[in-house]
Amino acid sequence: MTAARVPTFAGLSDIGRIRASNQDSWGAYPEQSLFIVADGVACSTDGALAAGLVVELLPTYVSRHLKPDDLGGEDAAELLGRALVEYCDDFRAFAATDDRAAGANTTVVAVLVVGTRALVGHLGDSRAYLFRDQQLQQLTHDHSVIQDLIDAGEVSIEQAERHPARAILTRHVAMFPRALPDSAAVDLLPGDRILLSSDGLHGVVDDPTLAQILESHPEPDDACRALIDAALQAGGPDNVTAVVVAIPPQ
């Protein structure tokens, strides 16, 4: 396997202009090259708890399922998915015995940078993007009712912005029967950047603007600040979180 490039990164989260609390959470684990964003579901009993726990505990599950010899294998992305499934199983078991977690819910998107690949796994509508050559590519596909309606051609993207079902998830960490995450491996090139975001960012700031911000702010910390500011300037209707991971140029 090609020697791993050590990525640089930054993350930032903001309560936004309307919410009473911030139920987003993010984490970066450089020793694993693992990056996570979780968006606690506001209508659940404690979205902040659910989001915080998945960010804190998922690295242990990833280490359990993905040993060093597995990282370059063809089934590495599937193993990341299995780590997410096991975490979700354990979270549901915990929620069944602890009143604090009963009914708590969250999305999660996780990216593991492995040499010249990124392993991506997610549940819900938090997203991962790849930014390369001034182009922004969405790596995840939202698990939501509104995305299903768009896929079926029943609503347009413009209509989706005002649709009453736009916030309803079809997959999430606490779902029963067990969650089935999507996972995939993506080839990386020197100079690529990965953006992880909650829907308080990508649901408010359109993709061309996200790309423009990433292009004009090459440093991850500057990019995160500019991304958050753009969401706030657009009204900041939700908690907003961004993590930017930069693959070093050769």
The pTM for the full model equals 0.94
What is the 8-class DSSP label of residue 106? B
* Strand ranges for the chain from DSSP E: 8-14, 24-29, 34-39, 108-114, 117-123, 127-132, 135-138, 182-187, 193-197, 240-246
**Rounded to the nearest 5°, which phi and psi values hold at 169?**
-90, 145
To which H or E segment does residue 210 belong? helix 207-216
Dist. CA 145–CA 163, nearest whole Å? 10
SS3 138: strand
Closest CA to 167 of 192, 142, 190: 142
Q: Which domains does the chain have, with CATH numbers?
A: 8-247 (3.60.40.10)
Report the sign of the C-alpha dihedral through residues 164, 237, 244, 171, in that order.
negative
Q: 122 near 140, Cβ under 8 Å?
A: yes
Residues with Cβ within 8 Å of 17's Cβ and at least 6 positions away in sequence, in order, are 232, 235, 236, 237
Dist. CA 129–CA 119, nearest whole Å? 12
Please name the amino acid found at residue 139. L
Q: 148 near 129, Cβ under 8 Å?
A: no
Residue tagged 């997610």 (tokens): 122
Dist. CA 160–CA 162, nearest whole Å? 5
Q: 152 near 171, Cβ under 8 Å?
A: no
Question: Mind listing the pLDDT tens digit of every residue in the chain (250 residues)?
Answer: 444 467 999 999 999 999 999 999 999 999 999 999 999 987 777 999 999 999 999 999 999 999 888 888 889 999 999 999 999 999 999 999 999 899 999 999 999 999 899 999 999 999 999 999 999 999 999 999 988 888 888 887 777 777 777 778 999 999 988 889 999 999 999 999 999 999 999 999 999 999 999 999 999 999 999 999 999 999 999 999 999 999 998 7
